Amino acid sequence: MTETTKKGAGLAITGFVLGILALVFCWCPILNWVLAILGVIFGLIGLFINRLKGLALIGVIAAVAAICIWKFYYVPKIQNAAGDLFKEVIENVDKDKVNEAVQELEDAVKEAVPAEE
């Protein structure tokens, strides 16, 4: 094996491992993105340099699949949960306290700004 082929084999294996790890940790946003992006980069480099094209290709596919799972499965769940939480907060607002706070604010503004005569 030449030196370039050895480096390519290492990159292909690295891309494969990172792609599989991204797939395993696709539920963890930051870790998923770091592993997936590095998996795609190393996998593509390994794909073009090396004979272990199958391993590199599987790594790239696994990394892209991890990104897709995060985007199309977890992101909508997070958005729905945030929307439900926001709706619950809005429904539980005490309207009398809000009206009192608004009235106090209006009174403070009237005291701070001199009346025009």
pLDDT attached to residue 1: 56
For residue 102, tell me if it sits in a domain.
yes
DSSP per residue, 14-83: HHHHHHHHHHHTTTSHHHHHHHHHHHHHHHHHHHHH-S-HHHHHHHHHHHHHHHHHIIIIIHHHHHHHHH
Q: Which domain holds residue 72?
A: 3-112
Taking only the tens of pLDDT, the chain with its 117 residues reads 566 556 668 888 999 999 999 999 888 878 888 999 999 999 888 888 877 788 889 999 999 999 888 888 888 888 888 888 888 888 888 788 888 888 988 888 888 877 665
Instruction: Give SS3 for 27.
Output: coil
Instruction: Tell me which amino acid residue 20 is.
Output: I
For residue 18, tell me if it sits in a domain.
yes
For residue 71, tell me if it sits in a domain.
yes
pLDDT attached to residue 65: 93
